[in-house]
Each structure stands twice: as structure tokens, then as C-alpha cells.
Structure 1
Amino acid sequence: MAFDQLDRPDLALRLDAELRHAHPVTVLESAIETFGDRLALVSSFGAESAVLLHLAAQLKPDIPVLFLDTGMLFGQTLDYRRNLAAKLGLTDVRDLRPAFQDLATADPEAKLWKTDTDACCHVRKVLPLDRAIEGFDAWLTGRKRFHGGDRMSLPVVEQAEGKVKFNPLANWGKEELDAYMAAHDLPAHPLVAQGFPSIGCWPCTKPVEEGQDVRAGRWAGSEKTECGIHTARAPGAVSNVGGDI
């Protein structure tokens, strides 16, 4: 069924009510059945990404996987993205990079992260994803409630920016993730063993101490907890450099 044939205001609420306690596979099956080729998976190929990528690869190996290559990722992440995609048989991984003109305007010296992390994330993550996601009606994310912060109240299905977002792993904790990784012999991101339970760009990601929150190493020392791609924006809008962030 095409998305424009569905009742947009009620669709996410109805699906969330149906799937809020469902196994991730059931959530994925529902997303694929409802949206088909109008569904994308957004992945950082980070510390826990292998689980959702593996689940999706079993059901739809040609699902478009959108990977934000910000130009400031760890080399280990780029290697992991290439090796994991090949191992899982994912055939449509798309590398989303910042537009040259956006960088020339907002971050010509690649030092914006030192003075304005929100603006840096905006030009390197938000803008490329907003442009790429325009071609889809729904997308999958790897967010989980146990990561804390605003994610503690994360629904399994939500509507944002005119799209339906599925969070198949919202209900899973670290034990379930670790068990799944072990059961399917999935390779860990190489930085996990070095104390990085959540991995983003190298300037803004640090290892964490034992007992700290999973995302404590992201933008450590600031109040920032999200990069902006999950922050509400006007439906269908593609933000402009220098606009509200």
C-alpha cells in the first residue's frame, strides 16, 4: 500500500499500539510490508549497529542503508562499515557526505566542531540526511530506551518530519543486544574494546568510565546529547546552512 493512501496522522500511533511490545523482527516485517521500497535504514555502523543491520539483512538484503560519512569519522568506523556490509550481504549501502558548498560556507577550515557542535552536526549530518530521506516515506533507526536521556520514552513507531520512523530495538537492553551478537557471531566495532560503547565523530567521542551511561562519551562535558537528526523539524523541509539548528 502506498504511503499516500494511508492515514498519515493516525498511522504511526496505530502501528506503535500494535508493535510496542513486539519482537524486533515483527517490527521490521511490518515496516517492510507497509512501505516496501519506500523504507530506508539509517545506520552509523557504530558500536551496536550490527544487530539491526543483521536483522534487516535477513528480511531485505537490498534495503537502502543510509550511512552518514561526516568526514570526521574514526578510520575504524569506515573499515567496519565496509567489512560489515560485505559480511551481511547488504547490497545498497549509500554513503551520505556533506555538500561541498555547505562545507565551504559553514566550515571551510573543518574547525567548526571546536566552537559550535550543533552547527557542525547540522552541516555534516542533518543536511545530508534530510536530502537523502526525501525519497522515502519511512525509515528505521537503531535507537534504544536504555541509552537514557530523551530516549527513555522512545516509542517503537513514531511520526516525524512527515515520515514514519521505526525503532525496532527500542525495547531491547544491552543483555539482549550482546546475546544476539554472540548468537549470530557478529563482529564488534573495533573501538568497543577500547572503551567506546557509543561511537560518533572522533573530535566529539571519548571512551567512558565503567558505570557511566552508554552515551556519556558523546559530546562529553556539554549538555548536548543528540546530533540533531532526531530533532523535530518542519515536515518535508530541507534545512539551510545558517538556519535554525
Structure 2
Amino acid sequence: MKFAFFALSAIYGGVTLTAAFAPPASPAASVRTNSALQVAAQDKVTFDQEQFIAESKEMRLKHLEEQAMYALKISCENYGNAVFPNAMIAGDVVITHLLHRLGYIKDGKCKIMVVDTFHLFPETMEFLKEIEEFYDFKAEVFCAEGIPVGDKAAFDKRYGADLWKENIEEYDRVCKVEPFQRGLKTLKTDCMINGRTRWQGFERAWIDLFENAPIGGGLAKCNPLAYWTLEDTFDYIAKYKVPHHPLHAKGYPSIGDAKDTIPIPEDGSVRFVDFKFEGDKTQWLDYASERKGRFVGLANADGSTKTECGIHVSGAEKTWDRDLWESDKSKVKKIESVDAAIQVKDAGKPSVVVVYAPWCQYSQKMEDEFESFAEKYGGEIDIYSFRGDEEREFVQANLNTKSFPTVNVVKPDGTVVKYESEVRTVDAFKKFVDETLA
């Protein structure tokens, strides 16, 4: 689209002011080659709108690149242990490329850390191998505490395959926040680099290039892409042919856990293929749209819609920090091990055993009532608690436990009978015990 702009003059105080689009005194003097402004006649300039927009975007991207690289230089040159937790989403692959251009991956001035939640898309860890080879580095991978890297079966055995369904906050703590914090500590991080941007939504609308992290002991936090839009990010990927997550080509603007991440729109009609968009790209690139497909169907404990994974929020390191029915205060006797649980089961006398998890909100809610039950009837029958979230295979096989809390009566012959009601009161527990042992 081309328009003609005619030179206008304004006389003010004897000074002639020429309008911005007026031709220069010498037509050949200052209009650069391929510019959106081209001299058509002595008093007329043509304006190519599309070319002007393209040139403006290139100028903007150049500025953003320089700004981001300057922030990364400060992070890697002024701090001893810069660490980049890389989730391999669009912004993160841009940061990886910028770090590569600056030489900080090769010289080790910035370490790359990855958190494997055991619920990622298979393509994600395969893509990690691809960029490790492309940029010649080895990421530091962290996962749930006590579990070997890549051992999903071991995770399921210890924490349960449905942990995220039972308690999303505990899932975040076990699979994201704790390994994230442990990774930062292990790598002695003093500056954490991450890909958050203002464009991602109102929760992040005021972040700057640098800030103090709300978690991790006050380490510096660098947001080199703070002022980038998602369009800027994909423009950069296209400009430099940056390796990027294969699921962008299948309709995913952002990639998290496979269990709660969907394409946008859901029919996958918008894709980023061969460094170009297919479909209506505005559905990805509008403000706060990048993460529309993330955390789908998840809610926080207060019922609000989940929008953060837990890593970047204040207080994320704070979890349920005490056990339930603590032995030095409680009338409920503590079973400390699997062997001790077997002894209770084989003791030849009746008992009541609650299998619980300290982080479970339902276990927490019944703590006082079960304590009152023990205070009132503990002289008549042994009443125990056993933490089951760390011994899931055992409690499933021996104590009828698929979720927490589970209350059982152990009969003298070792038979374990589950309390099926959701009514957790002293009177209800007493009635169940009497009926089971009658």
C-alpha cells in the first residue's frame, strides 16, 4: 500500500518548519536504499506502509536483542554462578541462543538447568538432547527428591502416579519447586536467568530486567526478555533459525506438563512450521495468550484458576512444615516404619490405624477429630497413625490405601477393614470400631 505525502510548511516566528515526510533539499542526499520513504518528485514522497512496518520491527528486534544480551552479560560477567533453568519453551530457546552467541554456554559462565517433572511431553526431553548436541553442552537435570533421573516407575512407587490429582500444591512442591530449589542450591546459583516477560499476563506485567527473586535466598534474578512480546520471540526464532520445541508445529504456543497442556486453539489450526506461522497467529500472539493452553483444568487450593506452576511465586518454598499427630504431643501412637506396621498388623489384638500424608488437606482437617478419638478411647484400643505417602506400594497392598486419609480397623486375626465413610467424627469412628469388632 502506497500513499503520497505533500510537503507542508508552517511559518512560526520567521522560521520555516518542514513536515516530517517532506523530501530533503537534495533528493539523492539522505533517503537510504530500500527505505519505506522514497522520493517520487520534488515536492512528493511515497510511503510504503508494509515496508515501513517491516523495517520498524527489525529495528525493534535489534534493540531488544542488544538489551537482552547486555542483561545476560551483566548476569554472567558480574556474578560467579549464573544459572539458566531452561523449560525449552519459545522464550527459553531464544535465551539459549543468545547465551550461545555470547559464548557463555561454551565457556561455562552460565550453567543450564532442567527440571524433569516426570509428567513432561516425551518430545521435551528428546528436544533437550537435540539442543545439547547443537550447542555442545550438558544440562544439569533435577527431579523429585530421592528419585533417579528418568526413573518414572520409581517416582510412581514413592509419590504416586496420581499425586497431581490428589494435591496439586504438593505435586508442585515435589516435582517442581523442591527440585528447582535444590538445583539452584547445588549449582551455587547467585544469579538466576529466566524467560518471564510482561507480555505473558497481569501476574508478570511489571517485571523488569533484574529483580530479587522471591525464593532461593534473595539471589539476583535476570529477566532478559522482560520487554519482549511473544511475536518478538518468534520473530527472533525465525530470523536466526533457532532450534525450537517440535510441539510448536503441532499447535502448542507454550509447553509444560503433558497432563494439563493443550494446543491453542484446541483443533491445532495455528502452528509454527518451518519458521513461519500457519493459521490465525493472533490466537497465540495476543496479550497473555501464550500460556492459555497451560494448567488446563487445574485449580489452586482456594478454588482459583491455576496460572503459575509454583516456581515463580512468592512463598513457593513454603510447604506443610510439620508432621501430623506428632509423637511428643499426641495420644495417637506413631508407626515409624513398614516393619513396625507389619508388627501392628500381626500383633493378634485389635487396633485402629489411620494412613495419612501430612500435606493432604483432608488428613489435616481430620487431625483434631482423630486426636480427640484417641484421647477418649485410646485406653480401650490401640490407635495408630502411619505416614503412607512415602510407602505407597506397601499401604496399597496391606492397608487398603489408595487415597489419604484412610482409616482401618485391624482385627485380632490380622484382617484389615477399611472405614468407607467420609464422616470423620469421634462418634462415627467409635461406631465403626464397635461394629467391625462385634
The answer to whether TM tops 0.5 is: yes
1:68 aligns with 2:115: yes
Query: Paired residue for 2:203, among 150, 155, 158?
Result: 150
- What amino acid sits opposite 1:100 in the alignment? G
Counterparts of residues 15-30 of structure 1 (less than 5 Å) = 23-30=67-74
Name the SS of the counterpart of 1:168 in structure 2: coil
- Deviation at 1:203? 0.7
The structure, 1 or 2, with the larger RCO (C-alpha pairs under 8 Å, 6+ apart) is 1
Structure 1 residue 188, shift from structure 2 partner: 2.5
1:136 aligns with 2:212: no
Shift of 1:238: 8.1
How far apart are the structure 2 equivalents of 1:57 and 1:238? 35
Shift of 1:116: 2.4
Q: Secondary structure of the equivalent of 2:313? A: coil
Instruction: Give the superposition deviation at 1:179.
Output: 1.9
In 1, are the aligned partners of 2:114 and 2:142 still within 8 Å (CA)?
yes
Q: Select 1:183's aligned residue among 215, 223, 239.
A: 239
DSSP 3-state at the match of 1:192: helix
1:49 equivalent in structure 2 = 92
Query: What are structure 2's unaligned runs of at least 5 residues?
Result: 1-63, 148-153, 266-279, 300-304, 322-357, 361-438
RMSD, matched Cα: 2.8
Bigger share in helix? 1
What TM-score do the two structures reach when normalised by structure 1? 0.80
Matched residues in 2 for 1:204 and 1:40: separation?
A: 27
Match of 1:232 in 2: 314
2:159 to 99, 105, 108: 108
Taking structure 2 as the reference length, the TM-score comes to 0.46
Answer yes or no: is the 8 Å Cα contact 1:118–1:227 preserved in 2.
Answer: no
**1:99 is aligned to 2:145:** yes
SS across alignment from 1:31? helix
Higher strand residue share: 2
1:56 partner amino acid? L
Q: Using the TM superposition, give the Cα deviation of residue 239 of structure 1 relative to its aligned residue in structure 2, in angstroms.
A: 5.9
Amino acid paired to 1:231: V
- Which amino acid in 2 is paired with 1:85? E
Structure-2 change in CA distance of 1:164 and 1:239 (3 Å): farther
Return the alpha-carbon distance in structure 2 between the equivalents of residues 149 and 106 of structure 1: 38
Contact 2:155 2:161 in 1 (8 A): no
CA deviation string 1:170-228 (max 9, x = no partner): 11112221221112111221111222111111112111226261111111244111111
Residue type of the alignment partner of 1:208:
I
Asked if the contact 2:90/2:234 (under 8 Å) is kept, the reply is: no
- Extract unaligned runs of 5+ from structure 1: 1-19
Equivalences for residues 172-211 of structure 1 within 5 A: 172-209=228-265, 211=283
Q: How far off is 1:122 after superposition?
A: 1.2
Percent identity, please. 29
